[in-house]
Amino acid sequence: MAAGYAQSGDPVAKDYRNWRKENNAPYLSGGHGNRFLDNYSNNIARGYLKLRRGQTMPVGSILAKDSFTVTEGNEIFAGALFIMEKVTAESSPQTGDWRYLMIMPDGSLLGDSNNDSDDSMQFCHDCHKRVKSRDYLFLIPGKYRSKAAE
């Protein structure tokens, strides 16, 4: 899975498996196409699960989630890699200064909100806006939070 994403040449896709894993087991996520997810964060995003209302993440924080589907026959298929990166203040007001990126399992880039001519990732932010008060982050469902990551 990671090898496929890495073909994109994206630095996050190449590196995220060396980051801190924030969840203790893959969990099902409706918001991302009903896939199982794992969630990783870079060093700048340390303490991400402790984020409280009114706080914001430091610039350079990156959160990455890889995903897979399991069919009724128990076959496993790789899904997309979802990435959020905190960019400098006011550089992307339409996305709350988050860059949203989606990389397909074969390494192709589905969209990147940093690219001005591409608004295909706006739907990410439209949903993440529901948690605007916590810097647009949903955090991981409680029982899947890794104790080690906290």
Instruction: Please report whether residue 149 would count as binding ligand HEC according to CB under 6 A.
Output: no
Instruction: Please report whether residue 123 would count as binding ligand HEC according to CB under 6 A.
Output: yes
Instruction: Please report whether residue 87 would count as binding ligand HEC according to CB under 6 A.
Output: no
The terminus-to-terminus CA distance of the chain in angstroms comes to 26
Q: Which is nearer to ligand HEC, 78 or 137 (CB)?
A: 137
Rounded distance between C-alpha atoms, residue 27 and residue 90, angstroms: 33
Question: Which x/- pattern over 33-72 shows residues binding ligand HEC (rule: CB under 6 A)?
Answer: ----x-x-----------------------x-x-------
Rounded distance between C-alpha atoms, residue 32 and residue 28, angstroms: 9
**How many residues comprise the chain?**
150
Contacts of 112 (CB under 8 A, 6+ apart): 99, 100, 101, 118, 121
Instruction: Please report whether residue 121 would count as binding ligand HEC according to CB under 6 A.
Output: yes
- Give the amino acid at 72: E
Rounded distance between C-alpha atoms, residue 20 and residue 48, angstroms: 11
Instruction: Please report whether residue 84 would count as binding ligand HEC according to CB under 6 A.
Output: yes
53 closest CA partner among 150, 141, 135:
135
From the list 5-13, 24-32, 70-78, 88-96, the region that binds ligand HEC by CB under 6 A is 24-32
The site for ligand HEC (CB under 6 A) is made up of: 29, 31-32, 37, 39, 63, 65, 82-84, 100-102, 121, 123-124, 127-128, 137-140
